[in-house]
Amino acid sequence: MTTGTVPGGSFTLPGTSMTVNRMGFGAMQLAGPEVWGPPRDLEGARAVLREAVASGVNHIDTSDYYGPHVTNHLIKQTLHPYPDDMVIVSKLGARRGEDKSWIPALSRQELIDGVHDNLRNLGLDILDVVNHRVGGFIAPTEGSIEAPLTVLAELKRQGLIRHLGLSNVSPGQLAEAQTITEIVCVQNMYNVAHRSDDDFIDDLGKQGIAYVPFFPLGGFTPIQSSKLDAAAASLQATPMQLALAWLLHRSPNILLIPGTSSIKHLRENLKAATLELSSEMIAELDSIGGTAGQ
């Protein structure tokens, strides 16, 4: 399987030889409703993965607790053996209850088991990047992350993980983590309307660390803003395409992982990387933060 180069530029994770196209793909929506069970359309989900890679996507974000195990099985069944430049990023720190709840899984044994589950279900001997999921479902929660991250750092030294990242963390938790191991990426909630990480992104950029916003299109409730709608209409684009384009313009260390189970939406998302935004339009979009919904 060959890949092209998706528009939007590329980024090399710090201290690594991993260069990824900035427009990636998030696999969460490939699972069934509520990120539980198999997709309604199995062949459709596999077609989305194939289309993403054929279009130049070489950065896939996943987790073995999506489904659980569903998205990793899909990725393996569809894409293995993986293209040489493919970077698969997984997450540890949670598990799913039988009631579909999201339960912290931060004990030593849970983390060790999680790494081996990911390796087996993805068909890998070593995981490219593992993000340690720290906070709640959407926002960070303060507290030390030394104990679980120390376990992951040990697994990295054992050769089961190449690089480590963090998800749902504060700047203070990043600083603590960097006393334990190198961190190549941070994954937090951020989009044109939710801007609490503005300073954090700039600081990470100075360190050469990637910032990967989850819910780049607003999460479960899409971003609503008359300013976004008007600006998108002027470019003959959708509001969601413009929201993605704004993120690419926001900072060169931002990597995108919009997810979808639709080839049509995948193509729309990738096309967002081709949008050119004027300085006036960027300023107008910048002003959305704090005014979404008006």
Q: Where are the beta strands (DSSP E) in 134-191?
A: 161-167, 183-187
Stated as kind and residue range, the H or E segment containing 129 is: strand 127-133
Please state whether 164 falls in left (phi above 0), alpha (psi between -120 and 50) or beta.
beta
Please enumerate in sequence order all residues whose Cβ is within 8 A of that of 167, keeping only pairs 6 or more positions apart, or say none: 91, 93, 131, 132, 133, 134, 135, 186, 187, 188, 214
Of residues 66, 82, 190, 211, which has the active-site annotation? 66
Please enumerate in sequence order all residues whose Cβ is within 8 A of that of 122, keeping only pairs 6 or more positions apart, or say none: 62, 72, 75, 76, 80, 88, 90
Contact 258, 244 (CB under 8 A): yes
Helix axes 239-250, 279-286, angle to 10 degrees: 100
Peptide bond before residue 33 is cis, with ω within 30 degrees of 0: no
Cα–Cα distance measured from residue 231 to residue 239, given in angstroms and rounded to the nearest whole number: 8
Cα–Cα distance measured from residue 103 to residue 93, given in angstroms and rounded to the nearest whole number: 9
Cα–Cα distance measured from residue 106 to residue 271, given in angstroms and rounded to the nearest whole number: 38
Tell me whether residue 190 is one of the annotated catalytic residues: no
Cα–Cα distance measured from residue 187 to residue 18, given in angstroms and rounded to the nearest whole number: 17
Please state whether 236 falls in left (phi above 0), alpha (psi between -120 and 50) or beta.
left
Show which residues are catalytic: 66
